Chains A and B, each alone.
Chain A
Amino acid sequence: MSDLFDVAITVNGILYEREVEPRLLLSDFLRHDLGLTGTHVGCEHGVCGACTILFDGDPVRSCLMFAVQAQGHEVLTVEGLGAIDDLHPIQEAFWEAHGLQCGFCTPGFLTTLVPFLEENPDPSEEEIRDAISGNLCRCTGYKHIVDAVKLAAEKMRA
């Protein structure tokens, strides 16, 4: 095993201090070390988007970063978006518009959409499809997801 590094990483507003091996992926750090299993792992090569988190506010693939690189940075995962009785408007919209079936892909869609809808409060369908083109869904189909994003935009504008 290689040397361990001390890291202090803020995840969903909480500062976590841990020791990590440099090869530990940020996705595995979140899931295994912190028990935040809302971040899903599909492909581990940047293609499926299930592991998307917000890193200092930007959507990134947590499977394409090492946890050691997050030292001193802020991470937001799907767990930090809303609570069961207080959902984020995008979560509400996915629920109401049937934007998910199995839910495997959903955390990645939600985290991708937070900065997108903040920057584009009234996106066209084409812009929505472009924004979610880095997230694969294998069961819902994209029609309901696009509808959910439109509904989410409405809710966030209100």
Chain B
Amino acid sequence: MKPPPFEYYAPTTVEEAVAHLAEHGYDAKPLAGGQSLIPMMNFRLAQPAILVDLNNIAELSFIRPEDDGGLSIGAMTRHQMVEKDAQVVERAPLINETMPKIATSQIRSRGTFGGSLAHADPSAELVAVSVALDGNFKVVGPQGERWVPANEFFLGLFTSVLEPEELLVEINLPPFPERTGWSLMEIARRPHDFCLIGVVAVLTLDEKDQCQQAKLVYLSAGDGPVEAHQAAELLKGQALTAEAIQAAAETAASADIDPSSDIHATAEFRRHLANVLARRALGEALERAISNTQ
């Protein structure tokens, strides 16, 4: 099918874009890579009266190392650019490992880092990863800018704290602490498809190689990114033995998440996968944390 008619604006600055959004409110939508919005428009699931195209706003496309060791990424930076960037490899290895798992090369050439987050799809890898990495989102609206931590940004299915007249402009990733390891594990029917379920693990060890901090964030396990708080609590202060990891994975799969059934998988099967994946992801994160201390 084809999208219904709409008015089209292609501003070249954030200020202009926000002004268009402020003028039109709920009738307008920003257009980033279009890799989620245009399919919805082609099927007429979305029928915005006004599109504000962000693709000519050069100031939104950048990857900038910060003095504190962190990294900032502009909202319109394409997946493909993040995937190939050497600073991302060095400062945000989990992001580097995530990028090739997002769709296929022909989608990553257009899709954007910020679009993926603003879309707030609970199956999107970057949504869970940004929560696991304690990302911070810079949002600009007619009243100015505000910063929103990743774990407060996502409100539910395709819903974030963004108001219709606001733009997500930048994502800041804090420096990776020392003695930290990470892992992203997912199961998809075909590589690069949205996954049936997936999990991101980030572990930080103390001087005694015990768990100082653990994060386990699921994707495709609920209406948004789902943090397995109870499992993480079990690990804190513990030696990360195979038994401790097993217990945490079981808690995560049985108590922390509430997956649903659909034509792709039953809730029960998703819980089974959630357990296996958490065990593997925590194992890999631990190995990497140990090798990062040497």
Contact = CB atoms under 8 A, between A and B. Distances in A.
A49 B106 contact: yes
B109 A46 contact: no
B144 interface: no
B103 interface: yes
Contact of A60 (B8, B10, B110): B110
A5 interface: yes
Q: Is the interface of A mostly helix, strand, loop or mixed?
A: mixed
A12 interface: no
A146 interface: no
A23 B6 contact: yes
Interface in B29-72: 34-35, 38-39, 42-43, 51, 53, 55
Interface residues of B, number: 29
A: contact size bracket: 20 to 34
A65 B6 contact: no
A133 B106 contact: no
B106 A61 contact: yes
B105 A69 contact: no
Given A45-B39, A63-B42, A134-B192, A68 B8 contact: yes
Q: Which 4 A-B residue pairs are closest in the complex by CB-CB distance?
A: A134-B104, A22-B8, A45-B39, A58-B109
17 contacts: A2-B5, A21-B5, A22-B5, A22-B7, A23-B3, A23-B5, A25-B38, A28-B2, A45-B43, A60-B110, A64-B34, A64-B39, A64-B107, A65-B34, A66-B34, A130-B191, A134-B192
Interface of B: 1-8, 10, 34-35, 38-39, 42-43, 51, 53, 55, 80, 103-107, 109-110, 190-192
